[in-house]
């Protein structure tokens, strides 16, 4: 990112526990221009001792002009005083975020519990927040499963290559032994 100007004023940056290992980071910002194309959300960058991690925003309805609201599902272990967070806008600019404050929990059950989100007795914004958390958690799980599948396919391909190589080597040794035996019987 080359432009570090801040086209947005951060009105709120909070974290809400979304389960034993995940948290929802929510950003609300205002400004004359959000720096995003309609329907796009900025990427959240988390810089910590182990490096830099990137998080896509959870799906959400369009924002009114001059307002940006975005939520991100992030591992709970990243929400520490040592981690710095930045919004990476699609126009290449970056907006530094303050330390996230504790937000009010809006859900009754974590996705890890296997329970469906409560449908009755919650307001529409609360239901949308719950669905955002569930969506983020499911996207994280899908990414993990996809990565594991790719690793398994790589290991399988390597094992198949090793087996083919061993078989070819064995066939070459057997062929050499036959040729040697044939040469001895002639000579």
Q: How far is residue 41 from each of residues 48, 66, 121, measured CA to CA in Å?
A: 22, 13, 30
Q: Which residue has the higher pLDDT, 10 or 33?
A: 10
Say how far apart CA 42 and CA 61 lie, in whole Å: 14
Both tokens assigned to 55: 């998080």
| Better pLDDT: 40 or 39 | 40
Q: Is the pTM of this model over 0.75?
A: no
Question: Are the C-beta atoms of 25 and 68 separated by less than 8 Å?
Answer: no
Say whether pLDDT at 67 is over 80: yes
Q: Which residue has the higher pLDDT, 147 or 85?
A: 85
Q: Per mean pLDDT, which range of 17-26, 85-94, 120-129 is the poorest? A: 120-129
**Mean pLDDT over the full length of the chain:** 79
For 64, how many CA atoms within 13 A lie in the half-sphere containing its CB?
2
To the question of domain 9-142 being in CATH 1.20.1070, the answer is: no
Q: Rounded to an integer, what distance in angstroms lies between the CA atom of residue 185 and that of residue 187?
A: 6
Residue 119 has pLDDT above 50, yes or no: no
Q: Residue 3 — pLDDT band, cuts 50, 70, 90?
A: very low
């Amino acid at each position: 990112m080359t432009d570090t100007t801040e086209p947005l004023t951060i009105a709120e940056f909070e974290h809400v526990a979304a389960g034993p290992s995940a948290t929802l980071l929510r950003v609300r910002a205002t400004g004359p221009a959000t720096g995003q194309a309609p329907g796009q959300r900025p990427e959240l960058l988390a810089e910590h001792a182990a490096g830099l991690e990137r998080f896509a925003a959870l799906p959400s309805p369009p924002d009114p002009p001059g307002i940006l609201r975005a939520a991100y599902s992030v591992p709970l272990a990243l929400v520490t005083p040592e981690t710095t967070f930045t919004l990476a806008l699609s126009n290449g600019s970056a907006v530094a975020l303050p330390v996230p404050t504790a937000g009010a929990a809006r859900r009754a059950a974590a996705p890890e519990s296997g329970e469906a989100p409560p449908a009755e007795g919650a307001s529409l914004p609360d239901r949308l927040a719950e669905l955002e958390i569930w969506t983020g958690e499911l996207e994280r799980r899908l990414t993990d499963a996809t990565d594991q599948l790719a690793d398994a396919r790589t290991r399988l391909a390597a094992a198949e290559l090793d087996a083919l190589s061993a078989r070819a080597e064995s066939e070459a040794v057997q062929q050499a032994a036959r040729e040697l035996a044939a040469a001895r019987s002639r000579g």
